[in-house]
Structures are given as C-alpha cells and as structure tokens.
Structure 1
Amino acid sequence: MRIAILDTYYAKFLKAHYARNKGLKKQDSSAQRASLLAAAFGTSDFYSRHLNGMGHEALDLIANCVPLQDSWARENDVSFNPLLLKLPHRTFRLPVIGRHLAAMPGLMEVALAQVRAFKPDVLYCQDLSFFPGDVLRDLKKDVKLVVGQIACPLPPQSFLDGYDLILTSFPHFVERLKATGIASEYFKIGFDTRVLDLLGNVPKDIDASFVGGVSRHHGKAIPVLEYVAENTPIQFFGYGAKTLPRGSPIRKRHNGEVWGLDMYRALARSKVTLNRHINVAENNANNMRLYEATGVGSLLITDRKDNLGDIFEVGKEVVAYSSQEEAAELVRYYLAHPDEARGIAQAGQARTLRDHTYKRRMEELVPVLERHLAAQGA
C-alpha cells in the first residue's frame, strides 16, 4: 500500500523548533521534514517508519508547517498566494469546492497537491479538523480510502462526513461514530522504541512530575493537580500554565514548555509521574502519556479508568488513583519506597515494550486498512 500520513503540529512547537534550528526554513522541504521528524513530536514518523519497514510506502505530511509547505510548493511549482499560506486554513470557507480552491490557495491547497502528487491508496489523517468533508469527498477521485484517527473532541459533523473509516483510542467514540454512518474501530496508540535510542541514559533527578498541558479541556484535572502540588514535591512541565490564576500552586512549580524529545526526557528523569486524562476521555484510559511514561521507564500514577486493566496490570505495572487525596498519597508513598516504585516502573516498561509499541500497532493497523480497502472495491 501507498499511505500518506497527514498530521498537524502544535504552533508553539513549530515556532520553538525553527527558533532553535536557525536557517532551517531556508533548507529544502526534505531537510525540513527530516529535522521535524527527528524531534519526535507527537507521533513523528512512528507510523511511517514501521509501515515502510513492512514493505509498504508511507509518507509523512506536516500540513500546517508554513516554512515546510512553502518550500515544497516552490520546489514543485505549485501556485499559491504566500500571504494566504500564512493564514489558518480554517479561516477559509469552501462551500463550492472548485471556485474556492482555485481562488484561495493556502495550507490546505498545498496539502492537497502533496496528496495528489504522492497518489496514495490510503490518506491517513491524524487531524480530523484539517480537511472539510466536501474537500475529502472531492479528494476521493484520487484516493481509494480516506481514514481518520482521533483522540480528542470530535470536530463538527461536516468535517467527519468525508471519511470512509475513523479509528479512535476512545472506546466510547466507536458506536457514536457508527451512529453517524461512518465506519469506526477501536485502535490504541503506543510508544516508539526509537525514543530510547535518541534519549540515551537519563539520570532520574526529578522525584515526581506531571508532564502535559493545562487547558480548558483539562478543567476537571486542575483541582487534582493543584492539590498534589500543595501536598507533594511534584514538578510540572508543559504548556498552558499562564492560563492559570497567578496564585495557583501549579504555577509555582512549573518548569515551562517541553516538546518532543525534551518532553520524553522530562518523563525519563522522573522517578514517578502523574497522568490525568482530558474530560472527553470520560471513563476510558487512552492517552499517549500511558505509553510514553511507561516506555521511558518511569512509574506511572494514572487516574483509574474502567478499561485500564485491559492495557496494564494495575498495581504491578502502573498505579491508579480515584481521588486527589489518593493521588497525593501514592506519590508520597512511592517516593518513600523507591525499590517498590522501581519494580513497578520496570514491569510497566516491559509491558509497553512487549505489547504497546508502534511496531506492534502497525502490524495491527495494516489488516484493518486492507480490509476496508477491499470493502471499497479497491
């Protein structure tokens, strides 16, 4: 199969990456893409690398990176308006595809040109809010199967309607998506072992951490995190701290944003690390931190969810809490019992490296894509 994997990256990460790598935006698109993927942000090349290793042909498209897309468009003689390229694609309204796509070249139009140039059997979108449904339906003239993957709040139905299949790590989303007439299947995320090679040996010099964002989607988590901040030596890393009140105990312990390998390094430095799911996860464990934290060998203390036991053995591979008081108590207990903490962390890492790697996930994904391609008559 030929698979185009389209993703979007956080704007703050892109800004920080180009600021750190002076002159990168002047390099060709291949060099820029390689640099971005080497940073191990999000799912990076964790899908394409293993798909290519299995004999398929997969290409990563970072659709909202302006310098990268600008370079690719120039290299491939794609006509575009540079001013519109720098505008968010969601500012465009495209009720009539042909006229508006011709009149408003920008990030979305460059991405469409990339997809058509690659001629994939499968377009695999990691951001369901990038292409409107009518654009996807038009793109099906050139693509046999359009697949989306989601682990965040659903976009409007008009963005979902163009998908042939949507995979999700939220078990509760599957039937909801099917009810709209879109095929959907449960598909867990994971951890890529290349991260361990890139990190090397990391000293565990942080007692306890929370690594992640604090935003409106994390509203229910804030009281828990603030309570733990007041009752343990926990340190915070990530984005969104400035959105909190100045008196928040989280802000007093916050160490700033960390992206890609720096994020993994913060986790790897931690003896124990706290996890909390976003509100839309409801009572299901699903997020990337489950696999990232265990993958780098830290003791994961996560919020108790109905399906957590299907992913890890609770109490032996990870630890779970049901209240803010229990979360703080567990952090204090395992800091006071480092040998016990180390044993659970090692068991959690062994489980992730056995069952939850992206190599394993791609071995699970390929038959799903082949089955749905066959159903499309491809």
Structure 2
Amino acid sequence: MRILVIGAYWDAQGHISCSTARALKVLGHDVSTFDYVGFRDRWSDKLRNRLNARLHARGWKVLGCRVRELLERVRDWKPELVLALRAETISPDTWRCIKKTSVLANWCQDDPFQWGAQIPEPRVFDYFFVFDPFYIPLLRDAGARNVDFLPCAADADVYRPLSLSSAEREVLGSDLCFVGTWYQCRQVILESLLEFNLAIWGSSWKLPLMRPWNPLRRAYRGRACGHEVVKIYNAARIVLNIHHPQSRSAMNMRTYEACAAGAFQLVDDKAELRSQFAVGEDIVAYRDVQDLKRLARYYLAHPDEARHIAQSGRRRVLAEHTYVHRMKAMFAAMRDGIR
C-alpha cells in the first residue's frame, strides 16, 4: 500500500513521525513522508498554518506554501492512505481535497481538543485513533467516525540499553531523572524530591527557573532531545514519569520509551497501566507524592530488584508495544471496521 505519513519532523514529535514511517516500511508498505510544519522556517510556517486553519474555519480560502506542497505531493504520488500524526494546522478544506483520492486517518498522541493544538474538524477523517480512550466519546460527539484507542509506543531501534563511558555517566547520571516540559503540577512534585540526587531535563523550564527563589534551579540540567534522552535514561538509576494532565486514563510515550531503553521507571498510576504492563514486575506505579518518595527510597536501596523490573519492562515493550505493533493494530481496526 502507498502511504503518506504527515507529521512534524523538527521537535519532540519528530521521532514519532520517523518511527511510524519506519514501522510501516517494516510491514512492507511503500511510504513517503511530509513535514506539515516545515523545518527550515518552522516557526513562521507553524504560525502561518495555524492562522490558515483559523481562517478556513471562518470561511476564508487561504493556502499557505506548505499546504500547496502537500496537495502537490498527494496529486503526484497518489497515496492510497494518508496517515496524519495530529497535523492540527492543516485545514478541513485541505483534508477534503485529499479525501477525494485517499483514505484519511489520524493518530493523535495529544489531547485533540487542547487550545493551540486542536484538531479543527475531526469528522473529516475516515478513521481517528487517539492515545487515550477518555477522548473517544468526545471525538464522537464532535462528529468523528470510526474512532478507536491506539496507545503510544516505543521505537526499539532508538530506545535501547547503551554502554556509557564513565565521563558520560558523570555528566548525565542521577538517582532520579525527569525529562519533560515544565508544568506547574510537575514543579510541585519535583520540589518534594530535592532530598534525592535529582536531575531535570527538558524545555520550557528557563522562565520559571529565572526566579531566584525557585528551588529546582540546582536540579535543572538543560534541554535534551534525540539520542541524548536515551543516554539520560541509561545513566539514571530511576526514571520518573509525571504525566501531563491530558493523559486522563492512558500513558504518554515516555512510559514505553523509558522501558525500551532498559530503565527502571516510577510512573504515576493510570487506569490503562495494568492492561499493558504487569505493575510491580515491568514498571512501578505511585499514587501520590508520599508514595513516590517511599518507592524511590526503597528501589535506590534495592538496585537488584530495580534492575530486574527494568529488564522485564523492556521485554514487555519489545513483545507488545513497538510502533510495528501499533501499525498492525491500526490496520486490523480498519480492516474489521470501527464502530
């Protein structure tokens, strides 16, 4: 099958797009990719595309340069399936043009209704897959058809155990590490963990940490992306996963990626966690801050137990939660029909 994958290739979503395309190729499909944001001039393209989507919603017919390129790609390459990975800045009118010749599907690994990243018209897609089942009834209420739950995944070719040098462990190592964007809810939890050798990596921390009284300033190590994140997971004794509020019942990609990297992970408990992992054997879940601190102390004092759980978690992800598994599930859902 000829499949066009439309995703972002410059930020944290970049590896989702690349990993999805690789998985489809492994399954024998002819795959082409399209960056709906635009790498060379990503901010102006992103702003223009979002403005374009807003104008389309109000009846204006305006096309940005990325939209023209996309329509030309579809016309020339003639994909049978177009798989959008969120692609929130592409207008419904553009999707309708594409839909004349291709089946449309969307796999959204974020809240599809969040401000600034809202999918303008979910009903335009033939199939809509979302990372958290909480959003399924909301998407149906918005007119989306054939909506199904498709969890996040890990790319085992990217996230894997590494042999780090002593210098790398010195720079990247910690007892507890957190990799992710700043949010106030995360700030509160991380402040309670300063008794540990805590390392924080990620974006959007600079402004909050400019406040001289912010206690997390000494724990912040800087931005991290790509292969460096894999090294950080390998260097940490415990990888801490604090979900964004958009993860109502299911898990983010970090849940699968940290396990695939062979890291021991402490994650805030979610309703879907036990349907995908053996909690206490593959991964350890905490209920609140006091529980988190108790578990961190215990597993830092019992590294052999932590190592055994980390190895089991990696085996689980390789057996059930890679991008190849997700693409197989997506095609099975399309083939069987989704209510």
How would you bin the TM-score normalised by the shorter chain? 0.7 to 0.9
Q: Letter of the aligned partner of 2:30 in structure 1?
A: E
* Equivalent position of 1:191 in the other structure: 154
Q: Is the 8 A contact 2:233 2:239 kept in 1?
A: yes
- The match for 1:250 is 216
2:205 maps to which of 216, 241, 264: 241
Please report how far the alpha carbon of residue 208 of structure 1 lies from its aligned counterpart in structure 2 after TM superposition: 1.6
1:54 corresponds to = 27
Q: Establish whether residue 114 from structure 1 lines up as the match of residue 92 from structure 2.
A: no
The secondary structure found in structure 2 opposite 1:243 is helix
Unaligned runs of 5+ in 1: 14-39, 70-82
Q: How big is each residue's C-alpha offset from its partner over 1:84-123, in whole Å with a ceiling of 9 and x where there is no partner? A: 758531123236989533xxx4223222322332211111
> Is the CA contact 1:87–1:106 (under 8 Å) kept in the aligned structure 2?
no
Report the counterpart of residue 177 of structure 1 in structure 2: 139
Query: What amino acid does structure 2 have at the position aligned with 1:240?
Result: S
Match among 298, 313, 324 for residue 359 of structure 1 = 324
Letter in 1 for 2:302: H
* Residues in 1 aligned to 2:271 and 2:46: alpha-carbon distance in whole angstroms: 43
Q: Which amino acid aligns with 1:151?
A: Q
2:106 is equivalent to residue 148 of structure 1: yes
Cα deviation digits, residues 317-344 of structure 1 (max 9, x gap):
1111111122122222211111111111
Q: 1: CA distance between counterparts of 2:128 and 2:312?
A: 32
Structure-2 separation of matches of 1:66 and 1:291: 27
Q: Which runs of 5+ in 2 are unaligned?
A: none
- What is the CA–CA distance in structure 1 between the aligned matches of 2:61 and 2:144, rounded to whole Å? 28
| CA 1:149–1:86: 2 relative to 1, 3 Å | closer
Q: Which has the higher helix share?
A: 1
Change (3 A) 1:340 1:200: closer
Matching residue of 2:243: 277
Shift of 1:130: 2.1
| Identity within the alignment, % | 26
d(CA) in 2 for partners of 1:157, 1:151 = 12
- The equivalent position to 1:324 in structure 2, one of 289, 293, 302, is 289
RMSD: 2.7
Q: Secondary structure at the match of 2:158?
A: helix
The answer to whether the 8 A contact 1:316-1:344 is kept is: yes
Going from structure 1 to structure 2, the CA distance change for 1:96 and 1:213 (only over 3 Å counts) comes to: closer
The aligned counterpart of 2:333 is 368
**Contact 1:300–1:345 (8 Å) recurs in 2:** yes
Equivalent position SS for 1:120: coil
Rounded Cα–Cα distance in structure 1 between residues aligned with 2:44 and 2:174: 44
Q: Check the 8 A contact 1:133/1:161 in 2, yes or no.
A: no
